[in-house]
Structure 1
Amino acid sequence: MSKGLVLEAGEASKAHAASRGISILDFVFRIVAGASTLGSAIAMGTTNQTLPFFTQFIRFSAQYDDLPTFMFFVVANAIITGYLVLSLTLSIFHIVRSGAKGTRILLTILDTAALGLLTSAASAAAAIVYLAHKGNTSANWFAICQQFDSFCERISGSLIGSFVAIVMFVLLIILSAFAISRRH
């Protein structure tokens, strides 16, 4: 009889350790995603390049705020960064109390909404970055990256950070779903 109790206690201890490990991984993913979105917002928000044209008085300039899509990208990344910083408190709570189910469901819902916002912003910005690199001859839109190379490098790098955060959100949602399903 005592052998059965010892086995049950050992299994419960393993389940608790696994839930705690999932919670710690959740915390790490949130930090990586937050750093990625913060870096993306800063990189895009500080991007500009000016080129002289024939004389020093006439200049061509490219700035992120010339395009509303890039402004949406910066704002969305900043909002997601703020959300991720705030969600770290719940993530820490899950490390301490790995059996909490309601807050994990809430985080999953909020993570899904954040993923939607981030994906829409990154996808819209990616379309503009593609046009900046390749242009569109049918619409007479010329590629500007041959002239504004520094500008294009920064906006492309900014996209990479957002897509890293998107992958982190997908992993967070899968991880949360797995943690919730283990409790049934």
Structure 2
Amino acid sequence: MKTDGVELGTGKSYAPVDGVNRGVSILDFILRIVAVLGTLGSAIAMGTTNETLPFVTQFIRFRAEYKDLPMFTFFVIANSIVCAYLVLSLPLSIFHILRSSAQRSRILLIFLDTAMLALLTAGASAAASIVYLAHKGNAKANWFAICQQFNSFCERASGSLIGSFGGVIMFILIILLSAVALSRR
């Protein structure tokens, strides 16, 4: 028998847990939308990054594109995959708002979120290492810093990392929130 949110004879409360889980689910949904925007913006920013510099004559030019570096291509693909996953996970996140006691679907999302976190972190880290080399170079390996010449290219590539690492932070928060919601059951 239940009365005023407390099951008689057991002392267990059920209404406050559902309310907290609903709040966690709403926050999960909001964080997923923020992560969608971050990963989509990063993929678009990096995917449209290019710069052309004239050389001595008008007919010879140096061009830098994101496609020239496989790590940047991986970055765009990883952010695109994660963005698509996040969009596809939004209905399940809405389901968790409506049914805050759902456990199996929440466990599935934790596993998939963790896999996407790993993919996003790998893509962002690979791109960050190349951006660092573009800014600083490496004298021992005879890699020269190109950002003095391709300033716009480097600024855009650096800026695209912000949204991606923001997505990493959002995923960490999403996973922690899902764990909290599961532990409250």
> What are the ranges of 5 or more consecutive residues in structure 1 without an aligned counterpart?
none
Cross-structure match for 1:38: 40
Q: Answer 1 or 2: which has greater helix percent.
A: 1
Over residues 29-82 of structure 1, what are the superposed CA-to-partner deviations in whole Å (9 max), with x where a residue is unaligned? Answer: 000001100000000000000000111111000000000110000001000000
The 1:7/1:24 distance shift into structure 2, 3 A limit, reads closer
Aligned pair count reads: 181
2:99 partner amino acid? R
Mean Cα displacement is larger for which, 155-164 or 5-14?
A: 5-14
1:2-21 equivalences in 2 (<5 Å): 5-6=3-4, 8=6, 11-21=13-23
Q: Does 1:82 align with 2:75?
A: no
Matches of 1:149 and 1:79, distance apart in 2: 28
Cross-structure match for 1:28: 30
Secondary structure of 1:61's counterpart equals: strand
The 1:7/1:113 distance shift into structure 2, 3 A limit, reads closer
Matches of 1:12 and 1:108, distance apart in 2: 23
Shift of 1:6: 2.2
Cross-structure match for 1:124: 126
2:139 partner amino acid? T
Over residues 98-127 of structure 1, what are the superposed CA-to-partner deviations in whole Å (9 max), with x where a residue is unaligned? Answer: 000000000000000000000001001100
Cross-structure match for 1:142: 144
2:63 partner amino acid? S
Q: CA RMSD in A?
A: 1.5
TM-score, length-scaled by structure 1: 0.95
> What are the ranges of 5 or more consecutive residues in structure 2 without an aligned counterpart?
none
The 1:108/1:62 distance shift into structure 2, 3 A limit, reads same
Identity across the alignment (%): 66
The 1:7/1:93 distance shift into structure 2, 3 A limit, reads closer
2:3 partner amino acid? L
TM-score, length-scaled by structure 2: 0.95
The 1:35/1:17 distance shift into structure 2, 3 A limit, reads same
Is the CA contact 2:39–2:80 (under 8 Å) kept in the aligned structure 1?
Answer: yes
